[in-house]
Amino acid sequence: MKKVFFALQIAFFTCVPLLAGNNEADSLKILNLQEVEIVSVRAGSKTPVAYSNLDKMQISSLNFGQDAASILATTPSVIITSDAGNGIGYTGFRIRGTDANRINITANGIPLNDSESHGVFWVNMPDFASSLEDLQIQRGVGTSTNGAGAFGASINMKTSNISREAYSEFNGGYGSFNSSKATFKAGSGLLADHWTFDARLSSIHSDGFIDRAETNLKSYFAQASYLSDNTMLRLLTFGGKEKTYHAWDGVPDYILFPTEAGAKPDRTHNPCGYMGADANGNPLYYSNQTDNYDQTHYQLFLLQSLAPNLNLNVALHYTKGLGYYEEYKTGRKFEEYGLQNFVVDGVTVKKSDLVRQKHLDNDFGGAIFSLDYRKGALNAAFGGGANRYWGNHFGKVIWLKNYYGDASLLPDHEYYRSKGEKTDANLYLKASWQLTEKLNLYGDLQYRRIDYAINGQNDVWDWINAEMQKLAVDEKFNFFNPKAGAFYQFNAQNSAYASFATANREPNRNNYTDAAKNEIPRPERLYDWEAGYRFGSPQFSAGLNLYWMQYRNQLVLNGKVNEIGEPLTSNVPDSYRAGMELTASLLLTHFLKWDGNLTLSRNRIKNYTEYVTVYDVNGDTETEQKADFYGDTPIAYSPDVIAGSRFSLNFKQFRAALQSNYVSRQFLDNTGKTDRTIDSYFVNNLTLGYDFKIKGVKQVSVNLLINNLFNEEYETYGYLWSCYNRQADGSLDAYTEHNYFPQAGINFMTNISLKF
């Protein structure tokens, strides 16, 4: 019924352009209100932080159906990775080497980071880029905002502005790996000088570059707005439904880089869902090895102009998430799932193949506010928010191969259940003061309070106590995050800035549940020094940003993953990230432009010790781990060089752009061993477009995206698992497994857009 309702609504929008208002004052009113809607969480031209903005046109030119994270690839210090290898499905990114679950992400100022994992799963928000007006990336700590602590960057996205004119648009595309996208958007324009309605429906499908990495995504966006002279009330909702086949495990190195004579590498191999082999030795895979999740967001905003210089912005929000993933597991012990061993012909059977589901049912809601004051030399904002999260985690065994135990335990035998609850509240006060004609001072104070509890059973068997691992976490955190800086305008073309900021961040769920024995994760603290210089003229602009990010108890990726491919972390007492970011833009001719960025960095852990699991001669875990000291080492997944280049041509109705990205070698763990790395890569993408008009259509756009133009073979992510095996003579034998995530070779995506 939801889809039918939106389809009827869209049809109605398309037929009502004559009802739209046409008063120029209405347009100015809309624009003025929208400009102050999220001012409290954005950096301005004189804010002393490093940031990049992407507007609606830039986002549209990069949107060919890949997850929204992919559009960040044109900005400094960003690395993108994709499980399926073609950017549709599960994708991830890092900024300055920091993983995405430590990057603050908001939509219209509303937190999007999952309260427990701290991540944003873009696959749950398919085609969200089609509903974005603009976004801002603040690198480093940035300015205070709502939600998760910013330990590498903040990303604030703003959804589509209110349009005075009625419109409708169809966008469809098809490309490699049977990838397709269909999007329909429509808006009523301004009705009776007060009302507007907008909606979008999207469908995306891809078979993926990796074997069986199929993705089916559906999504919607709708908003209704009321405007008067000093008030804007806006209700919006967006949601996504995804079904993806697992591609979480990567490709083992012995398959990707075979050493046997005559063996060929298999870059599309997917071990997920493996069930064994048939009588002829051919591998068999489980057909429903899938991830299934529905996520729906609701946001209600009130923007009230209280006085010419004072605005109040209040928002309520609620997000519902519900889903599970299903997987086939081979040779699992019954006791791990609370099942009984059984005897057949005098032989005790302890293991079996099985199919399990792991479910998540969560609710997230709250409120945010900001009071924004602008007068003369002073711009100030007082704001904050309070959010509450409830998450139920539980697992079921839905099928067992040849099970003769207690039949009452099946079907849908539940073998673990836990509940996570979290309250997150913050208040901030920030101000920018134009002290002199050239000097602007900035200050920002934030207090954040977190109450987090996990109770119940984890999904991991505790072999020592012969039961599911018990969870009893009850943590309270109080964080104070001050920030200060100065911006100096030398003249119309030259400016400089400097800032210092402190940030604190609590551990996430996996830091607690997947911690090593006797390890209790601790909160992190970051001291961030930034300084920069900017030059700007109509033909050429450039910027230089220097940063020093000093961490205490940083939770760094250790190169290991849990059994569903989620990266694991460990606290390290002392570490840092230091570097410089260069940006430049050159207008070569009136129709040809070049944009480039370069990040040079050094990312190090001081006095690093790795603790490695030891297995005895029977294959059981020993009580003590082996400690290997390495001294000062590079931080995993933190390349020394990241560079981007983009040539863009706009000549009459024709458009073209060549995007190039270079990433230097990355280490898979924190040991600094050169045999545990991802090779550097240099990848080029080409886009072509042409606009024209036909009768009855405002604009027709035909576009072509060619990814990996020169067919580079490269990997963007990987992980390893290492241990020591005790030999009969008491010596230890080191063992390491490597897995990588290859990306697709040359591939394409076409697109046609019709605007009415």
639 close to 664: Cβ distance less than 8 angstroms: yes
The pLDDT assigned to 8 comes to 34
Average pLDDT, rounded, for the chain: 90
Closest CA to 705 of 53, 121, 88, 136: 88
Assigned token pair, 158: 């703003």
How far from the centroid of its chain's Cα atoms is residue 115's Cα?
14
Average pLDDT over residues 201-210: 97
Q: What is the CATH number of domain 2-260+274-755?
A: 2.40.170.20
Q: Is the pLDDT of residue 337 over 80?
A: yes
Would you give the DSSP letter of residue 176?
Answer: G
Average pLDDT over residues 562-572: 65
Tell me how far CA of residue 122 lies from CA of 112, 136, 704, in angstroms.
Answer: 10, 17, 23
Q: Is the pLDDT of residue 163 over 50?
A: yes
Round the CA-based radius of gyration of the chain to a whole number and report it: 27
The pLDDT assigned to 441 comes to 98
Q: Beta-carbon neighbour count of residue 20 at 10 Å?
A: 20
149 close to 446: Cβ distance less than 8 angstroms: no
What whole-number distance in Å separates Cα of residue 752 and Cα of residue 756?
13
Q: Is the pLDDT of residue 546 over 50?
A: yes
How far from the centroid of its chain's Cα atoms is residue 461's Cα?
30
Q: Beta-carbon neighbour count of residue 393 at 10 Å?
A: 23
Confidence of residue 100 (pLDDT cuts 50, 70, 90): confident
- The H or E element spanning position 25 is helix 24-35
Q: Is the pLDDT of residue 551 over 80?
A: yes
Q: What would the 3-class secondary structure string for 280-340 be?
A: CCCEEECCCCEEEEEEEEEEEEEEEEEECCEEEEEEEEEEEEEEEEEEEEEEEEHHHHCCC
Closest CA to 382 of 434, 446, 442, 441: 446
The pLDDT assigned to 72 comes to 93
Helices (H), 185-311: 253-256
Q: Is the pLDDT of residue 404 over 80?
A: no
> What would the pLDDT profile of 422-436 be if each residue is shown by its tens digit?
999 999 999 999 999
The pLDDT assigned to 410 comes to 66
263 close to 279: Cβ distance less than 8 angstroms: no
Confidence of residue 753 (pLDDT cuts 50, 70, 90): very high
What whole-number distance in Å separates Cα of residue 505 and Cα of residue 207?
38
Assigned token pair, 126: 């398919």
Q: Is the pLDDT of residue 518 over 60?
A: yes
Contacts of 304 (CB under 8 A, 6+ apart): 230, 231, 311, 312, 313, 314
Average pLDDT over residues 390-400: 95
User: What pairing do the DSSP bridges indicate for beta strands 732-742 and 153-159?
Assistant: unpaired
Tell me how far CA of residue 153 lies from CA of 100, 220, 356, in angstroms.
Answer: 9, 28, 37
Residue percentage of the chain with pLDDT more than 90: 76
Q: Is the pLDDT of residue 666 over 80?
A: yes
> What would the pLDDT profile of 449-506 be if each residue is shown by its tens digit?
999 999 999 998 887 788 898 999 999 999 999 999 999 999 999 999 999 999 999 9
Closest CA to 77 of 405, 547, 455, 743: 547
The pLDDT assigned to 286 comes to 97
pTM of the model: 0.91
Maximum alpha-carbon separation in the chain = 92
- 261 vs 224, which has greater pLDDT? 224
Compute φ and ψ for 61, nearest 5 degrees.
-70, -20
Contacts of 541 (CB under 8 A, 6+ apart): 534, 535, 584, 585
> What would the pLDDT profile of 724-737 be if each residue is shown by its tens digit?
999 999 899 999 99
The pLDDT assigned to 37 comes to 61
Closest CA to 271 of 212, 358, 314, 343: 212
Q: Is the pLDDT of residue 265 over 70?
A: yes
